């Protein structure tokens, strides 16, 4: 079972929620929008890279995995907290996390490419990097299909086009097989427990929803008002969910004792499954393993 520290739990949930949206308060909305425009205007056009990157800072775990997948792992000179795959990534110095990065270290390392995560990195940091003149590429996949696209883009930027094409082709092949093999299976009502305290789930447009859909699951909170809504146990009980999916994090598992509600089909039939959050929440080629694990859980519910 995977046990995360309190800090990493907060990072994992915060980062996933930030994958597709950042909530701005009224007072800061105009200023934040202005800054965002300044940051994005300086992102590299990957179709015409200025030069082949030899010194890369990767500011997200998924970007690190992508770079290694295309054979560009040796170009990474610094990364971020929780970038722990593959094993070689653990030896790369971390210069920050969701709370921000050490800007002085960035300047010292003098990278020719910085791969940011606009949904998970601090906006002020992104703007400062662009204002300092660094070449910045935003790796922020929103769907399963986007992973292959970004593998190819990173291949162009790092001069690893051939290996990137191979990785993208293999990823697309595996994803296509999964979708085709599950398309005609009976739909299964799924409740994805993103976190227990507060109780949170996923809805339309979220990264996890793309995975549930690939497995022909029926997300019981698909039409919730936000992509990562906070809900109640009572809300879940009204859904007749046939499967409950959780991360393997101990805090998420023990946060709600579902055995108290045997009237819920998922509880009655013992279809509560714990899955590897890294495989599910990181938009990298390993996401295929997460999709396969989720599909296997739904298959169990279909036959039992």
How do residues 161-174 score in pLDDT, each as one tens digit? 999 999 999 999 99
What is the dihedral angle through the alpha carbons of 92, 98, 100, 103, rounded to the nearest 10 degrees?
30
Residues 102-111, mean pLDDT to the nearest whole number: 97
Of residues 195, 192, 186, the one with CA closest to residue 206? 192
Provide the 3-class DSSP secondary structure of residue 151: helix
Provide the 3-class DSSP secondary structure of residue 61: helix
Of residues 206, 215, 239, 238, the one with CA closest to residue 300? 215
Q: What is the sign, positive or negative, of the torsion defined by CA atoms of 149, 150, 152, 153?
A: positive
More confident residue, 208 or 23: 208
pLDDT tens across 37-71, in order? Answer: 333 434 665 545 668 999 999 999 999 999 999 99
Q: Rg of the Cα trace of the chain?
A: 20
The answer, yes or no, to whether residue 7 has pLDDT greater than 50, is no
Q: What pLDDT is attached to residue 44?
A: 62
E strand or H helix that includes residue 281? helix 277-281
- Provide the pLDDT confidence category of residue 1 given band limits of 50, 70 and 90: very low
pLDDT tens across 121-168, in order? Answer: 899 999 999 999 999 999 999 999 999 999 999 999 999 999 999 999
Distance CA 145, CA 213 (A): 13
High-pLDDT (> 70) share of the chain, %: 84
Distance CA 141, CA 134 (A): 22
CB 294 within 8 A of CB 215: yes
Q: How far is CA 17 from CA 21, 28, 119, in A?
A: 7, 20, 9
- 201's tokens: 């789930």
Q: How far is CA 229 from the centre of its chain?
A: 17
Q: How far is CA 212 from CA 215, 272, 298, in A?
A: 5, 15, 9
Q: How far is CA 84 from the centre of its chain?
A: 14
Residues 13-26, mean pLDDT to the nearest whole number: 42
Instruction: Indicate whether this model's pTM tops 0.75.
Output: yes
């Amino acid at each position: 079972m995977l046990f995360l520290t309190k800090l990493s739990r907060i990072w994992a949930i915060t980062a996933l929620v930030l994958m597709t949206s950042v909530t701005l308060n009224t007072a800061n909305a105009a200023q934040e929008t202005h800054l965002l425009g300044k940051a994005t205007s300086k992102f590299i056009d990957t179709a015409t890279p200025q030069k082949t990157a030899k010194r890369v800072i990767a500011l997200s775990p998924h970007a690190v995995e992508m770079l290694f997948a295309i054979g560009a792992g040796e170009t990474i000179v610094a990364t971020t907290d929780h970038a722990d795959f593959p094993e070689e990534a653990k030896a790369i110095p971390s210069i920050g996390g969701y709370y921000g990065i050490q800007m002085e270290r960035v300047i010292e390392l003098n990278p020719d490419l910085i791969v940011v995560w606009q949904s998970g990195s601090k906006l002020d940091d992104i703007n400062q990097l662009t204002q300092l003149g660094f070449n910045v590429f935003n790796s922020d996949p929103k769907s399963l299909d986007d992973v292959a696209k970004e593998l190819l883009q990173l291949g162009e930027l790092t001069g690893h086009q051939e290996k990137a094409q191979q990785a993208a082709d293999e990823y697309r092949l595996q994803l296509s097989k999964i979708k085709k093999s599950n398309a005609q299976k009976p739909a299964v009502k799924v409740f994805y427990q993103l976190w227990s305290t507060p109780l949170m789930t996923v809805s339309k447009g979220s990264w996890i929803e793309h995975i549930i859909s690939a497995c022909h699951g029926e997300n019981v909170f698909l039409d919730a008002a936000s992509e990562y809504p906070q809900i109640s146990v009572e809300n879940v009980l009204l859904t007749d969910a046939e499967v409950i999916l959780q991360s393997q994090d101990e805090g998420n598992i023990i946060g709600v004792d579902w055995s108290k509600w045997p009237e819920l089909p998922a509880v009655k039939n013992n279809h509560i499954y714990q899955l590897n959050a890294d495989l599910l929440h990181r938009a990298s080629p390993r996401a295929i393993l997460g999709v396969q694990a989720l599909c296997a859980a739904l298959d169990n519910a279909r036959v039992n």
